[in-house]
Structure 1
Amino acid sequence: MALPAPTTAPTTAERIRSACARAGGAMLAVEGLEPAPTPVHHLLDDGSFATTVPVDSALAATAVSAGAAGVHAVLELTDHAPLPLREPVRSLVWIQGRLRDVPMREVPALLDLVAAAEPNPALLQVNSGITDSGTTTEPEIRYALLRLEIESIVVADSTGAESVPLSALLGADPDPFCAMESCWLQHMESAHRDVVDRLASRLPMTLRRGRVRPLGLDRYGVQLRVEGDDGDHDVRLSFAKPVDDVTGLSQAIRVLMGCPFLNGLRARGV
């Protein structure tokens, strides 16, 4: 019996989970209203998203007035490349569903649940304003906590658009390196251009004429963006097998580079 082919790229659900973890901000939209920024967008185990919007926004007021019926809304997440590319957006994720206000009695427990997995500073400004002494304070922005019951999920990138079932999203995890990816790629671009050049030598000759930039890094491989006169081209260089820690990642990149010192050892006398 033939062995299954090795996995060479994250699944669409994994890509979405990583985009959710990386996206520093997102927008929540309801028809007829101005979209509102939502700094918190956390997927819960029950298949809904905990989100926040400014408490004084029209969107928050609409969600409250809609009651248990909720209102149809779209959560848009934008995954930006960490480098100043000609086209900086790597992917867009649209999550549609019914948006409902979280009853005040449920807010503290839900905040604790989200904070345990994602300690976002914006959580401290949800329905806040009372200090321990009982006096009111006025934080710069106050947020209302809402819940988006998911009905559909679509992601679009340079390869096209694809819908993803909720069950697949719940069964996927963010890439283990997604929180560090931006810093690593920026450092690679600014301080280790030789690494990018060595990786670029793996590309087809027709793609080496453009400017090669690091685009992505995950447990399955490295993505490069080639900015050429004929447009942009994204290429994935896959590792021999997925990696799970920094040591494995470093070695896998050295293999892609064709480095003979796979364990990071220097030649004698160097």
Structure 2
Amino acid sequence: MTTSNATVTAPTTAERIRSACARGGGAMLAVEGTEPTSTPVHHLLADGSFAITVPANGLLAGMVVASGTAGMQAVLEMTDYAPLPLREPVRSLVWMSGRLRHVPTRDVSAMLDLIAAENPDPALLQVNTGAADAATGDTPYALVRMEVDSVVVADSTGAESVGLGTLLEAEPDPFYALESSWLQHLESAHRDVVDRLADRLPTQLRRGRVRPLGLDRYGVQLRVEDADGDHDVRLPFAKPVDDVTGLSQAIRVLMGCPFLNGLRSRRI
């Protein structure tokens, strides 16, 4: 049975993963026989594989080249951190497992252009640049590709696997690139908004310290830090929103603002 947009109160697991992928953030690539390697760029391609940068002079890059066309088994772990200094900053973990393969030199430039069109990360400029730059400390990177076999995400609600086809069909949240700055702004400059939203929480949770945790087209997430632990609560919008004007109005509805139609919409 098809669910209408009006009844959707939270992003799907696939949408959450796509948003985490689009935001970038911390990620580690784990391969048996070497220490986990930090990956500044881990970009989901249209075919469901991941383009990943690893230190060009590190052990892992050499192992991938030596594995030839067979490749090697690997796990990419992405960590979605809250943009505020919370007591427990990790919002979710995503594990991608699959086969890691070397990207031939002839294909590197085209793949870098493809990645940069969607994610112009400065680390892309350090791919195939040779030795480290002593003046800037920049690390040269090599480009590898992981063909994904399975995807699992875990957060405070538990763990769930997602099919690769479902993941490719999903879209990142339209506000993923602005979420961090908006939440930081709410925390630092609009504590009154957070307090009004906190009034919507169950009475027993209002005794803790309420912090903004997440913001997406479906609603607002709050983190309550209390003596007995942390509690995450989602306040859903009446319907999903797609632009800043709709988002601003939806938040005012949650706050119980009586002047919805009499105020000019403004950025959060």
Please give the range of the TM-score, normalised by the shorter of the 2 chains: over 0.9
1:126 alignment counterpart: 127
Q: What is the CA distance between 1:23 and its match in structure 2?
A: 3.0
Q: Percent identity?
A: 75
Matches within 5 A, 1:96-245: 96-129=97-130, 140-245=138-243
In structure 2, relative to structure 1, the CA distance for the partners of 1:46 and 1:2 (3 Å cut) is closer
RMSD: 1.9
Q: What is the CA distance between 1:26 and its match in structure 2?
A: 1.1
Q: What is the CA distance between 1:32 and its match in structure 2?
A: 2.0
Q: Contact between 1:251 and 1:264, CA under 8 Å: does it hold in 2?
A: no
Take 2:260 and 2:62, find their aligned partners in 1: how far apart are those partners?
58
Aligned residues: 261
Residues 169-200 of structure 1: CA distance to partner in whole angstroms, max 9, x if unpaired?
A: 10011111111111110110111000000000
Structure 1 stretches lacking a partner, 5+ long: 131-135
Q: Which amino acid aligns with 1:91?
A: S
Q: What is the CA distance between 1:3 and its match in structure 2?
A: 7.6
Q: Contact between 2:96 and 2:149, CA under 8 Å: does it hold in 1?
A: yes
2:245 alignment counterpart: 247
Structure with greater Cα Rg: 1
Q: Contact between 2:26 and 2:80, CA under 8 Å: does it hold in 1?
A: no
Q: What is the CA distance between 1:21 and its match in structure 2?
A: 1.6
Q: Which amino acid aligns with 2:78?
A: L
Take 2:24 and 2:166, find their aligned partners in 1: how far apart are those partners?
20
Task: Indicate whether 1:40 and 2:41 are aligned.
Answer: yes
Q: What is the CA distance between 1:27 and its match in structure 2?
A: 0.8
1:66 alignment counterpart: 67
1:53 alignment counterpart: 54
Q: Contact between 1:54 and 1:144, CA under 8 Å: does it hold in 2?
A: yes
SS at match of 2:7: coil
Moved segments of 4+, more than 6 Å: 136-139
Take 1:32 and 1:85, find their aligned partners in 2: how far apart are those partners?
34
In structure 2, relative to structure 1, the CA distance for the partners of 1:254 and 1:65 (3 Å cut) is same
Q: Contact between 1:195 and 1:257, CA under 8 Å: does it hold in 2?
A: yes
Q: What is the CA distance between 1:22 and its match in structure 2?
A: 1.8
TM-score w.r.t. length of structure 2: 0.93
Q: What is the CA distance between 1:64 and its match in structure 2?
A: 0.5
Take 2:115 and 2:235, find their aligned partners in 1: how far apart are those partners?
35
Take 2:257 and 2:165, find their aligned partners in 1: how far apart are those partners?
41
- Of 219-228 and 114-123, more deviation after overlay is shown by 114-123
SS at match of 1:97: strand
SS at match of 1:235: strand
